Amino acid sequence: MAIEGPLRELGIHDVFQLLDLSRKTGLLRVSSELRNDEGTVYFDGGRVVHASIRSLGARPEVALLQAGRITEADIQRAQQRQAKGRVGVDLPDLLVEVGAISAKELERQLRLQIESVVFDLMSWKEGFFSFEERSRDEMPRDRRITVSTESLLMEGARRIDEWSRIAETIPNVNVVPELAPVDDNRDGAMLDLLPHEWQVLTMIDGERDLRDIAAALGRDEFEIAKIAYGLATTGVIVAHARRVSVEMAAPAMAPSNGTGDRARGHLDAGVLAARAGDLATARVNWEQFLRLAPADQSTARVQTALEAAIRLHQFLEGNGNGA
C-alpha cells in the first residue's frame, strides 16, 4: 500500500509516527523542489535502518572519508580485498578488516549518519513524501544499525525546542564561526573553557561551517551547534552566514590549509562516488571542490569531469524516459 502526499498536509513528524505505529517495512522518499533535494529512509518493522539525503552523500565510505575517519588509501585497500574473492562482503566491513576503522567506531558513525539525516528531514516544512512497502529482500544489505523511530521523534522534538532558544545566534549548522576580535579590556585574561569547547575552537578557521566541523570531529551536529552557541554568547566567537561566493572575494588567492584539506576531501569523495556510479553525489562533491578551491591545479580536470557527469546523468534520465 502506497502512502503519499504533500508535507503541508501531513508533517514529516506525523509520517514517521504513522510508519512507527503501523510497524511498516519499506522505503520513504521525501523530495523538495525548493531545496532541489531528496531524502530516503528505509524502515524495518517501524524502525529506521538506513537514511540518506542526496546533497549530503549516501554511501557510508563517502561519509567516513568526509569525516576524516578513513583515507582514500584505506578504501583502495578494502576494494582490493573485495576484488580478491570478497565480492559479497560490504565495503564498511572490509574497512574494519584492513584496520582502517574499528567496528565500534564504524557503528557509531553509521548511527550518527542516520540520526543526522533524519533530524535534517524533520526540519523540512514543504515538499512531497511517498512511502512504498517492500520486502526485507529489497532493503539495503547493510542493516546493522537499527534506530527506534520513537526515540528519534522524541529527540527531534527536544531539538526543535532547543533550537528555538539558540536560533537567534545559531540559526542552523550552515553558519561559519570565526574567532571574535580581541578585547583590549580583558587584560590578557585566560579563557576558561571545557575540553569539548577547546576541541571545537581549534577547528575554527573562518571557512568551515558547523556541519563541516561536526563531520571532522565525528560529533553530532546539534551538539556542535550548542557548543558554538555557548562560545558565541560568551564572546569567544561570532557566527556568520556562509559566504555565497568565496571566489568573488579573492579570486587569485589559494585556499588556506583548512579550506584546502576540506576541498581535497570533496574531490576524493566525488571520485569515489563516480567510481561507484553515484553521479549525484559526485556532482555535489565536485561542485563543492570548485567553490572551495577555484585556483587549485586540479580545477580544470574537475570541471571537465563535472560537465561529463552532468551530460551522462542527463542522457541516462532521457533514456529512462524513452527519449
User: What is the tally of structural domains in the chain?
Assistant: 3
Tell me the pLDDT tens digit for each residue of 98-137.
898 999 988 888 888 888 889 889 888 889 999 999 998 8
Question: Is the pLDDT confidence value at 196 over 50?
Answer: yes
Question: In terms of domains, do 22 and 44 share one?
Answer: yes
- Quote the crossing angle between the two packed helices 149-166 and 103-121, to the nearest 10°: 60
Question: In terms of domains, do 256 and 312 share one?
Answer: yes
| Range with lowest mean pLDDT among 94-103, 224-233, 305-314 | 305-314
d(CA 305, CA 270): 10
d(CA 100, CA 71): 8
d(CA 54, CA 148): 23
Q: What is the mean pLDDT of residues 174-198?
A: 74
In a domain, 75, yes or no: no
Question: Is the pLDDT confidence value at 248 over 60?
Answer: no
pLDDT of amino acid 57: 62
In a domain, 194, yes or no: no
Question: Is the pLDDT confidence value at 187 over 60?
Answer: no
Give the model's confidence band at 242: pLDDT under 50 very low, under 70 low, under 90 confident, else very high: low
In a domain, 56, yes or no: yes
In a domain, 300, yes or no: yes
Question: In terms of domains, do 43 and 9 share one?
Answer: yes
In a domain, 100, yes or no: no
Question: In terms of domains, do 123 and 218 share one?
Answer: no
Question: In terms of domains, do 22 and 122 share one?
Answer: yes
DSSP state of 54: G
Determine contact, residues 250/259, Cβ cutoff 8 Å. Answer: no
Average pLDDT over the chain reads: 81
The amino acid at 272: L
Question: In terms of domains, do 24 and 156 share one?
Answer: yes
- Cα distances (angstroms) measured from residue 155 to each of 83, 123, 172, 222, 238: 41, 13, 17, 11, 27
Give the model's confidence band at 9: pLDDT under 50 very low, under 70 low, under 90 confident, else very high: confident
Exposure letters 29-65 (e unless 16+ CB within 10 A, then b):
ebbbeeeebbbbbbbbebbbbbbbbbbbbbbbbbbbb
Question: In terms of domains, do 40 and 60 share one?
Answer: yes
| pTM given for the model | 0.63
Question: In terms of domains, do 124 and 12 share one?
Answer: yes
pLDDT of amino acid 32: 92
Question: In terms of domains, do 121 and 259 share one?
Answer: no
Question: In terms of domains, do 234 and 254 share one?
Answer: no
Question: In terms of domains, do 227 and 289 share one?
Answer: no
In a domain, 28, yes or no: yes
Question: Is the pLDDT confidence value at 91 over 90?
Answer: no
Domain holding 40, by residue range, is 3-70+106-160
Question: Is the pLDDT confidence value at 147 over 60?
Answer: yes
d(CA 169, CA 210): 13
C-alpha cell read off for 107: 557503528
Tell me the pLDDT tens digit for each residue of 284-303.
777 777 777 777 788 888 88
DSSP string covering 103-158: HHHHHHHHHHHHHHHHHHHTT--SSEEEEEE--GGGS-S-----B-HHHHHHHHHH
- Indicate the pairing of strand 128-133 with strand 3-6: antiparallel
Question: In terms of domains, do 126 and 267 share one?
Answer: no
The amino acid at 119: F
End-to-end CA distance of the chain: 30
In a domain, 94, yes or no: no
In a domain, 89, yes or no: no
pLDDT of amino acid 310: 79
